[in-house]
Amino acid sequence: MNQHAPAKKITNVELLNMKQRKEKIVSLTAYDSSFAHILDEAGVEMVLVGDSLGMVIQGQTSTVPVTIDEMAYHSKIVSKGLSRSLLVTDMPFMSYPDPQTAMHNAAILMQEGYAQMVKLEGGAKILDSVQHIVNQGIPVCGHLGLLPQSVNQLGGYRVQGKEQAQADTMVDDAKGLEQAGASVIVIECVPAALGKRISESINIPVIGIGAGVDCDGQVLVSYDMLDITHGKRPKFSKDFMADAHNVFDAVSQYVNAVKNKQFPADEHSF
């Protein structure tokens, strides 16, 4: 992106237009205003304040301990660094057990966290909550596949949708989320063929993370792709700092790689 070009604000409608134009959507996580500013300047369309902050910022072993107040705080400070990118904020563990609670907590993220869209994990069981939130004028991003908030139930961080029945259910869940009013869906850790199938099955954008190159866009945890995360980097990520001069350069390389369908490559897919 040309830093001197006028910044056209990214909206959920623009993301839909990008899918229709077959233009790849680029997303990364941010947890503070400084990182957010770099992502915004480098051309990232969708900045996600992920509950992954529990692991990469707080040092937790999962995303489960993260609270709605912590999400609102990080979302608010990330918003200060954005002028162009769409701000999407995760609704954390147990913040949407029923439609009324979901709406209340989504409102907190919008009013106190300045979010422009909220993200919920799950399929059929959260459709009522998604529809209720959307009916109040709040855009929603769904999340299917590996669900970090359900890691204790899933038995670890494993590829999802390898069996036909599970894959079919995921496609049905994606269609259900679209019908409930979701604007975007993130799919995580699924076979590349399933990522393509889901993307082609619905009209709203599908953003992949470990879901193959044929999704409508890609998202990574910024700390993973900048080689900051302690421990082993996920298979689906790539160290973009390796050949970069600085963080802005690394993010720009990621943006270009996604736009040109060079990332993810086969070694980053399942």
Helix or strand holding residue 151 (H, E): helix 151-154
Secondary structure (DSSP) of 30-67: --SHHHHHHHHHHT-SEEEE-TTHHHHTT--SSSTT--
| Listed residue (232, 147, 229) closest to 188, CA to CA | 147
* Strand, helix or coil for residue 237: coil
Instruction: Return the residue matching tokens 């350069």.
Output: 249
Instruction: Return the residue matching tokens 């009916």.
Output: 135
Separation of alpha carbons 95 and 65, rounded Å: 11
Q: Which two tokens stand for residue 118?
A: 């909220």
Active-site entry in 14, 121, 188, 267: 188
Separation of alpha carbons 209 and 216, rounded Å: 11
Instruction: Return the residue matching tokens 């869906």.
Output: 185
Residues shown for the chain: 270
Q: Is 188 a catalytic residue?
A: yes
Q: What positions carry a catalytic annotation?
A: 188
